[in-house]
């Protein structure tokens, strides 16, 4: 029995507050998989996060994370194995087992995002990026890898962009944004203080696109457009690991869409970029 069917069959016997949560989850299931527990409690009018905990435990889940993975899998319409059961790495695993589990985790989360990500949001992001005079990219820690990837890709098709791993340099750049500037902020948790503070300071002065894993996070709330990705965590590697893979995939989608829209001009820029790089290769 699917999770949503299970909820619908149980709803008539639930207490009033759980009935309210169940009704919201069944009506807004795609949105729920992107919500933190506090965000869901706020959206469905629950008294507290404890009400959400009681709700998912009544359905047989030990954690909110497990509940969201099950919901996302059902929405995707795929018969995936629960990554918490099949991809959990233990101290007894040998290298082939670790390899298999990590690849399985990555494939699962990519399929999950392929089914759940909002195409309208991606299309709007491409439009905003194509209209910007300059794109300022910020993100630190594990998200810095995705930031640098975005910087290199945009540079290859002739888009003016700024990226630095130094938060002070970024703060100086954002202290006086110019007309046509756009901020692209990346933080999987959406709670990185450097990213959130810098985005907050530029709010209203330049449009902000956020790439994050939490739709109810501080970064998502300050952004003008939020691209939300889904992930999960296992015992030995965190959700940041597979989350980074999804970040790179989303960046590839944006880059390729921009290149296609750019037509011959973008193709010519890519050709010149390849030629320029050819001189530093054997």
Shared-domain flag, residues 147 and 232: yes
Domain containing residue 124: CATH number: 3.40.50.10490
Shared-domain flag, residues 138 and 273: yes
Shared-domain flag, residues 7 and 136: no
CA distance readout (Å), 236 to 140, 148, 247:
21, 26, 20
Shared-domain flag, residues 147 and 256: yes
Choice among 90-94, 189-193, 203-207 with the minimum mean pLDDT:
90-94
Q: How many domains does the chain have?
A: 2
- Total-model pTM: 0.71
Residue 101: its pLDDT value, please? 83
Of 84, 146, 78, which is closest to residue 111 (Cα–Cα)? 78
Mean pLDDT score, 206-213:
95
Residue 79: its pLDDT value, please? 41
What DSSP letter does each residue of 163-187 carry, written as one string? E-S-HHHHHHHHTSPPTTEEEEEE-
Is 111 inside a domain boundary?
no
Domain range for 16: 3-76
Of 108, 112, 44, 39, which is closest to residue 72 (Cα–Cα)? 112
Is 92 inside a domain boundary?
no
Is 7 inside a domain boundary?
yes
């Amino acid at each position: 029995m699917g999770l949503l069917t299970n909820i619908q069959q149980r709803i008539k016997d639930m207490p009033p507050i759980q009935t309210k949560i169940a009704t919201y989850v069944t009506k807004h299931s795609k949105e729920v998989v992107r919500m933190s527990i506090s965000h869901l409690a706020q959206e469905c009018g629950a008294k507290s996060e404890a009400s959400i905990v009681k709700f998912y435990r009544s359905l047989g889940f030990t954690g909110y994370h497990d509940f969201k993975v099950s919901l996302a899998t059902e929405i995707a319409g795929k018969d995936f194995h629960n990554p918490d059961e099949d991809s959990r790495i233990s101290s007894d695993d040998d290298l082939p087992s670790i390899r298999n589990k990590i690849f399985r985790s990555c494939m699962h989360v990519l399929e999950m995002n392929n089914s759940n990500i909002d195409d309208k949001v991606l299309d709007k992001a491409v439009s905003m990026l194509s209209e910007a005079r300059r794109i300022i990219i910020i993100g630190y820690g594990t998200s810095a890898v995705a930031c640098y990837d975005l910087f290199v890709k945009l540079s290859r098709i002739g888009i003016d962009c700024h990226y630095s791993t130094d938060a002070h340099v970024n703060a100086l750049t954002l202290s006086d944004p110019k007309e046509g500037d756009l901020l692209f902020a990346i933080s999987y948790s959406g709670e990185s203080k450097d990213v959130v503070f810098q985005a907050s300071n530029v709010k209203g002065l330049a449009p902000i696109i956020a790439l994050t894993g939490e739709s109810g996070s501080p970064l998502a709330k300050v952004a003008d457009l939020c691209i939300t990705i889904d992930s999960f965590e296992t015992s030995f590697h965190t959700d940041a690991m597979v989350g980074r893979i999804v970040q790179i995939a989303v960046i590839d989608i944006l880059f390729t869409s921009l290149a296609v829209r750019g037509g011959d001009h973008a193709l010519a820029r890519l050709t010149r970029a390849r030629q320029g790089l050819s001189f530093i290769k054997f």
